Structure 1
Amino acid sequence: MPISSQRRLRAALATLFVPLALAAAVAPDAALAAPVPKAAAVKPNAAFDAWAERFANDWVRMNPQLASSTQYFSGTEQAALDRQLTPQTPARRKQMVAVAKTGMTRLDKFLAGSLDETQRISALVMRWSLSNVIANEPFEDYNFVFSQFGGPQVGLVNFLTQTHPMRNAQDVDSWLARLEQVSTRMDEALARARSATERKLIPPRFILERAQYQVDTFLKPAASQNVLVASLEKRSAELKDLTPEARTAAIARATRIVEDKIRPAYVRVQGFMVELHPKTNDTAGVSRLPNGRAAYDRAIANFTSTSLTADEIHAIGLREVARLEGEMDKHLRALGFNEGSIEARMKALDATFQPKADEDPRPAILAKYKEMVKDAQARSESLFNLKPRAPVDVLREPPLTEASAAAHYSLPAPDGSRPGVFWVPLRGPKFDMIRMRSLSYHEAVPGHHFQLAIQQELAGIPKYRSQRIFSGGSAHSEGWALYTERLAVEQGWYENDVPGLLGALGSELFRARRLVVDTGLHTKGWTRQQAVDYGINVEEVDRYVVWPGQATAYMIGMLRIVELREKAKAELGPKFSLPAFHDMVLGAGSVPLDVLGQLVDGWIAKEKAKA
């Protein structure tokens, strides 16, 4: 891209951003509005630190799978938790809500007293997280229990094949102990799904069929060829303290467990899905369910951490779609793509980059993703002082979930045994080639990997924040990842790459369309086909159907981060440092948007006070 064109684009980006006045919509709770004090001579409250650590420990103990993914404890306690799968019972849900209410009461007392800056932020983040646990609980069954994204029929498999640590012979034994529990957890989920059905909380038929496909896929191979057994065979092959005899015995035991316990549990779920099929239809939105609008209002409050209404979010989406389509039209015309809608011209452009069909292109595409991430790490050097120590890898999405999966990121293991991973679905036969760079920036560097791996490594905040036991929600994390996509455009990373630039603008357009589609599906009676016709592929639409509100977090969070950055620029003038701003945002960990606004205000005041 010519330098003059790049300069024009930067100028356009600077003027096209219209403040959302989000500052007035990011205080859903009066307690969260309490100002974060300046680092004046407020002494740390030792009682708060002691209580918060105990509370966080108890919270993690209720979720053994969370304890394993974070390796939160050590020694015998961690080893014991590594042998358990988290219960899926109503009793466990009630227990968590009761504990959350107790925590809220205690936090309110601490917030009314004296806390230093870090403690107050920690208390606000904890309180926000716990308040959502309580407020969300009545609506948990509004998402299909066996959804194609988070259902136990895929969640338990992914956990055991990817997340459960496999470092030594003890981990194999713990893995087998967990394998013994899979059928129990599946039956618990099945009981929950039956209860939801009795309350008319039934998924659309096309969602049910996606989940049915996953269950059928799991059951197709014999037990000895099952994905769980195959994973154990592969992951245990290099363990130095596991003898060949012990490994053979472990694989044989796993095969028996799958055959005798797990496959029958999946067959029971399969039967339930067959029973449910004639009871449902293809109405997509959560408004189809009893009290569905209240469920959606709660979802967008949870995912955006704002008080924006569905109508306001819909309007923001329409505004951003128009802005981005106008910018893309100019670049498409410059490349000779003059006729048709933006979507049609983007598909035509992407078609010119499709790999040849004479051989499997997936290995080369995966290698290209790895190169893009490596290049992004080099480009990020001048924009970030704070960078993660943990490495990041790019892997193909596993077969069981690839048909429905979107690209995503998984955290590195705190003990260094597993890198951060950018997971890429490569379904084919067509591949989204021109958006590869923006997707790499979002999921890996400097997006989720910088944000989440750095948070895990932070030494200046409590462990329960660095491990995201209590966090600021999707608007902060997804907002940051989308912010880095825009940052790459602003910083000229697409110089001489107009197709790549269009891919980046198209990715942002996709997030703007999400605002329109998500609110359209759940509050305006949109059908699945209407959402597809608006420019969202069917796998994504189905994600929004089972995960109401989550898709709104990206654009709302990104716009708020940009708004705060522009505020800091305006107030600090020549004192503003972009790397310092990034360090401040990343160094705080995951916080709700209103707390982020308070942190930025405090940072601006500190920068002004410097000589």
Structure 2
Amino acid sequence: MFKKLLKYSGLVLLIILVSASAFAAHEWFAKKPVMFRAFLDRTLIKIAFESPETLTSLGFLESVGINGHNAELDDDRPEKADELFAQLEGIQRILLTYDDASLDENELLTKEIALYLLSFSDDAKAFRYHNYPVNQLFGIQNGYPSFMESQHQVNSIEDAEHYLSRLQKVKVKFEQNLQGLRIREQKGIIPPRFVIERVLTEMNGFVDTPIKENILYTSLQSKLAEVGDIPIQEQARILLAAQERIRDYVHPAYALFIDYFSELEAKAGTDDGIWHLPDGESAYRLSLKFFTTTDYTPDEIHTMGLSEVARLQSEILAILESEGYGVDDGFFAAIETMAADPKFYYEDSDEGREQILLDYQKILDEINMGLDDAFRIRPQAGMEVVRIPKFKEKTAPGAYYQQPALDGSRPGRFFANLYDIKATPKYSMRTLAYHEAIPGHHFQVAVAMELENMPFIRKMAPFTAYSEGWALYSEQVAWELGFQDDPFDNIGRLQAELFRGVRLVVDTGIHHKRWTREEAIEYMKLNTGMADSDVVSEIERYIVMPGQATSYKVGMMKILSLREKAKLALGDKFNLRDFHDVVLKNGAVPLDILERLVDRYIYTQATSKFSFQSSRRIAGQGSD
């Protein structure tokens, strides 16, 4: 959780300020800085400096000539995590010593959010091993090559040497992660068998790929060629060294995991829900609380999902019937008939996939030009569409968003999965683009990163119900603004929302009601009409990320209810741009805090209206 906080920050800028004055030096070294914000920002800086991979992602130290961290990888020993938990306890103790009376309104909110996260960290300590850190979606086995490809920049020979250093040191990193896996095994926390099968397939494919076709080699080759002033002879030397290190260090690192999981497979079972782990039911309730930032029980969320599924299917069927599709045989048959129409798909070829990326960019450019009536605040960072790397697209989700670099060196990125052409019907593309990019994740994440005079913890707080709720809400906003006026595009939008409603049912079904993987796949298939490849990968995602999938719909429903609350309270005083300012300009927050912020907005607007009317009456100008 806190690693995610650090990943997006520009914390290192403050290092420059540390040397600016004696007071700044005091704020850096004092056990308790005078300035409340200095304590929070300094704390995250110090944690960040223990993570060379985070520093690489930030990309700010390089601008002041510091780049030695780019030759190192994170210390992933289990003991390092123990140290972090102890460090967080100390941070919480100091944070509580700041008197509320000495803090302004914004600082009080920051303190509340920080304590919320620290309190959850304390609760989560008992369940720190209740996860599968190597799975078909994420883990060092695909995170490491993705990090080297997308985050490690090569602009000089020295950068390339650092790249080579990280190739050599990866075996130690794998060994450290293996320690954590063995601890989980001893505690009876073993992934379901299908997870092990997936990661073995992925890792065997990785090492079986010829070295010169490996992403670690081809990425370095491309980066060297793009620099422009590195002699061909030097490029050849560096690439030869890369081949040797992939052979001598990277492949043996993967062999450690391949051997381990090959042996572990015999111990794995087919119980997929977290309920089957030691004290798994408690772990799931805590996971739901973290991802939804609510106290909803699994049964409440399950019931909520069933209700939303029924409502959304009814709306989709009404549109299909109006478009001439037969609906007498039920939702699944109607959706299957529509989805089978070849007019909704691109050519299954490299050219067809390239056209998908181009069309996604057109969709985003169009909506970006037409949001003035709904948004006052806009991110400065750019946005681009790219394909999910081929080596991991088979088990990757349909799409995801990557935040921009704070120094402007990298725009926000919407990664699209093009593995199965049938998983990208044309009528779903607008909704997916709006969710992942504009005005969805890109607006929310990039705006938060660019907020001025805001502590970094507020810019990066990992409240999934807020962030994913916003992205799902953005899909409806785009429709309300007229960007999905084609009936089939609207079906795509409703299908996407239905998909999130189904998630409420299957996530709680798997982890609370003890559904099997196959039962969950069957339910999702029958109630969404999604492509088989998407259904399988989604259900398998929920199994390894308990509770996360419930955050989208819970967050969206809360934002919509708050907007309706504001509309009813303010009438013609309500302004959509003002409402979006309130939601976006405070960074990610728990849903109960978001409601408090909206209530304050309502009160402020209502009070200003009352004051204006009162002044008119006092001046003898009549009344309403």
TM-score, L = length of structure 2: 0.86
- The match for 2:543 is 545
Q: Does 1:606 align with 2:574?
A: no
CA contact (8 A) 1:515 1:552 kept: yes
- The match for 1:38 is none
1:361 to 1:239, Cα distance in 2 relative to 1, 3 A: same
- The match for 2:618 is none
1:332 counterpart (301, 320, 323): 320
Q: Greater Rg, structure 1 or structure 2?
A: 2
- The match for 1:473 is 463
Alpha-carbon shift at residue 394 of structure 1 (Å)? 0.7
Alpha-carbon shift at residue 78 of structure 1 (Å)? 5.4
Alpha-carbon shift at residue 265 of structure 1 (Å)? 1.2
2:493 counterpart (504, 507, 521): 504
Q: Does 1:410 align with 2:402?
A: yes
200-209 or 454-463, which deviates more: 454-463
CA distance in 2 between partners of 1:332 and 1:401 (Å): 35
SS for the counterpart of 1:238 is helix
2:371 counterpart (366, 380, 383): 380
Q: Does 1:197 align with 2:185?
A: yes
Alpha-carbon shift at residue 136 of structure 1 (Å)? 2.3
CA distance in 1 between partners of 2:435 and 2:350 (Å): 29
Partner letter of residue 600 of structure 1? Answer: V
185-194 or 141-150, which deviates more: 141-150
Q: Does 1:421 align with 2:413?
A: yes
CA contact (8 A) 1:100 1:131 kept: no
Q: Does 1:105 align with 2:98?
A: no
CA deviation profile, 1:247-297 (whole Å, cap 9, x unmatched) = 322222222111111101111111111101111122211111111111111
CA deviation profile, 1:35-91 (whole Å, cap 9, x unmatched) = xxxxxxxxxx95212212221211222333223223365656952333322222111
- The match for 1:591 is 589
- The match for 2:440 is 447
CA contact (8 A) 2:431 2:496 kept: yes
238-247 or 152-161, which deviates more: 238-247
1:456 counterpart (449, 461, 469): 449
Note the residue ranges of structure 2 that are not aligned, 5 or more in a row: 1-32, 526-534, 613-624
SS for the counterpart of 1:316 is helix
SS for the counterpart of 1:408 is strand
SS for the counterpart of 2:385 is strand
SS for the counterpart of 1:382 is coil
- The match for 2:168 is 180
Q: Does 1:493 align with 2:483?
A: yes
- The match for 1:394 is 385
CA distance in 2 between partners of 1:519 and 1:425 (Å): 26
Alpha-carbon shift at residue 603 of structure 1 (Å)? 2.0
Q: Does 1:270 align with 2:258?
A: yes
150-159 or 218-227, which deviates more: 218-227
- The match for 1:31 is none
Q: 1:265-304 residue pairs with structure 2 within 5 A?
A: 265-304=253-292
CA distance in 1 between partners of 2:64 and 2:82 (Å): 27
Alpha-carbon shift at residue 111 of structure 1 (Å)? 5.6
1:577 counterpart (575, 578, 594): 575
- The match for 2:306 is 318
SS for the counterpart of 2:380 is coil
SS for the counterpart of 2:345 is coil
Partner letter of residue 561 of structure 2? Answer: E
- The match for 2:510 is 521
- The match for 1:237 is 225
1:258 to 1:486, Cα distance in 2 relative to 1, 3 A: same
- The match for 2:21 is none
Partner letter of residue 482 of structure 1? Answer: L
Q: Does 1:133 align with 2:126?
A: no
Partner letter of residue 270 of structure 1? Answer: I
CA distance in 1 between partners of 2:55 and 2:115 (Å): 20
- The match for 1:348 is 337
CA deviation profile, 1:126-146 (whole Å, cap 9, x unmatched) = 222223333223323322221
Alpha-carbon shift at residue 225 of structure 1 (Å)? 2.9
370-379 or 418-427, which deviates more: 370-379
- The match for 2:12 is none
CA contact (8 A) 1:447 1:482 kept: yes
CA contact (8 A) 2:346 2:353 kept: no
CA distance in 2 between partners of 1:126 and 1:165 (Å): 32
SS for the counterpart of 1:237 is helix
400-409 or 589-598, which deviates more: 589-598
1:244 to 1:111, Cα distance in 2 relative to 1, 3 A: farther
1:64 counterpart (48, 52, 63): 52
CA distance in 2 between partners of 1:334 and 1:127 (Å): 52
CA distance in 1 between partners of 2:328 and 2:417 (Å): 31
- The match for 2:424 is 432
SS for the counterpart of 1:82 is helix
Alpha-carbon shift at residue 327 of structure 1 (Å)? 1.1
- The match for 1:364 is 355
CA contact (8 A) 1:68 1:78 kept: no
CA deviation profile, 1:474-501 (whole Å, cap 9, x unmatched) = 1111010001012122333222x11110
CA distance in 2 between partners of 1:120 and 1:84 (Å): 38
- The match for 2:13 is none
CA distance in 2 between partners of 1:603 and 1:82 (Å): 45
TM-score, L = length of structure 1: 0.88
Alpha-carbon shift at residue 181 of structure 1 (Å)? 2.0
CA distance in 2 between partners of 1:357 and 1:244 (Å): 37
Alpha-carbon shift at residue 356 of structure 1 (Å)? 4.2
1:123 to 1:247, Cα distance in 2 relative to 1, 3 A: farther
CA distance in 1 between partners of 2:65 and 2:74 (Å): 15
Alpha-carbon shift at residue 114 of structure 1 (Å)? 2.2
Partner letter of residue 394 of structure 2? Answer: A
CA contact (8 A) 1:61 1:81 kept: no
266-275 or 162-171, which deviates more: 162-171
SS for the counterpart of 2:384 is strand
- The match for 2:25 is none
285-294 or 139-148, which deviates more: 139-148
Partner letter of residue 437 of structure 2? Answer: A
SS for the counterpart of 1:388 is coil
- The match for 1:6 is none
- The match for 1:8 is none
2:519 counterpart (525, 530, 536): 530
C-alpha RMSD of the superposition:
1.9
Identity rate of aligned residues, in percent? Answer: 35
418-427 or 167-176, which deviates more: 167-176
1:235 to 1:111, Cα distance in 2 relative to 1, 3 A: farther
1:473 to 1:166, Cα distance in 2 relative to 1, 3 A: farther
- The match for 1:255 is 243
- The match for 1:557 is 555
Partner letter of residue 215 of structure 2? Answer: V
Q: Does 1:219 align with 2:212?
A: no
Higher relative contact order (CA 8 A, sep 6+): 1
CA contact (8 A) 2:374 2:576 kept: yes
Alpha-carbon shift at residue 511 of structure 1 (Å)? 0.2
CA distance in 1 between partners of 2:392 and 2:113 (Å): 32
